[in-house]
Structure 1
Amino acid sequence: MNTKIKLLALAALFTASFTSHASEKAVHGTYVPVKGTVETFEVSDPTLGEAPEQLGRYKIYLVNSAWRSMSAEERKSTRYLIKVEGLVAGKIDLATLLVSHKLLDDDHRYTLRSENDFFIPQSGDLYCSTGTPLVIQEQINLVKGTGQYSNLSEGTIMLNGVINNCPGESDFGKNVLEIIPFQGSVTFE
């Protein structure tokens, strides 16, 4: 029994030590998105004149683009991989069709904000006049971060996806987008 307690204490100490060491690594330089998804649902009511607004979840993985050229010493202090995940809210300005997003992680350690995001229709249209959902490519323009990502200076993330804007469809109001790997970048000072 005493041996089990010692082993559990040692395992807890090792885990705490590893976790604190991993969190000491800094996020700086340029990171590129490698995979991820954004899934939202339309929560506004256009029949009441409300601008389109989406709520949902995101998960995005980014890797440091300069990792291979870094010295061993630089690698010790720099994070190679960033995973951002949590809640997302998006609003469309009907006058300009530009979008803004707010991203919050699940543990409330940071927020990310975007402005002047835009989408390019690939097929379909905003009003589902063809009877098929709107397929888009979207550019997210990150402008600010808080908390552990307060050193974010700028960023662009590209996505492809489907905006299900066709009433009567089973997935009406659901939007599913995927990161376009290695398109865009996010810079931290």
Structure 2
Amino acid sequence: MPKAATKKNTASSARQEPYTKSSPKDSAIADKENIAPSPEKSSSAKPTPKAKSQDASATKHTHTDYRAVPLDQVKGEVPCYDNAAAVRRKLKNLLASKENIPDISPAKKWSQAGMAAEMQKLEEVDGPVEEMNKNGNGPTTRSLAIFLKKSGNMGGADSPCFYWGYVLLEKLRIMKREKKSKPRMKAEEE
């Protein structure tokens, strides 16, 4: 058998380490957000008035977490402008859409358990509602399943899933920048 070629070691070649000793955090590039803009760049690139208005409107409704979207409140509660049948229909459409729950990693699709968990998180963020919290039960998977099986315009309106489902849908609507429906606008006028 032929011998394999071997590399001759020379005294001048030292073993090199596979990684550098400095971390990326040490580099000047790592923290660009906290560096003050240079005066040359800011004076040469002045935004036009039209660009300012577009930037302001783009950041006005931009939220990283849909749970942080502020809603108008009356006496500490969000007024509901949809009846229970409309909320039920919208929740069922959301479940059937197979969309991912926003701001969750790893990404999960909407399910009844996930929806109930999101309603519970909204209750933690916004605080419990006194009228809905008399019996101490918040939105659960079981109460959501019961609410979705009800029928009629006001069937299940006493369920916490009606109120928190409405809040969930309203925050998602604002985050997605969707318009209000005509029946909703009519209910607001009344």
Alignment TM-score > 0.5, same fold: no
- Which structure would you say has the larger RCO, counting Cα contacts within 8 Å and 6 or more residues apart? 2
TM-score (norm 1): 0.24
Which structure has more helix as a fraction of its residues? Answer: 2
Which structure has more strand as a fraction of its residues? Answer: 1
TM-score (norm 2): 0.24
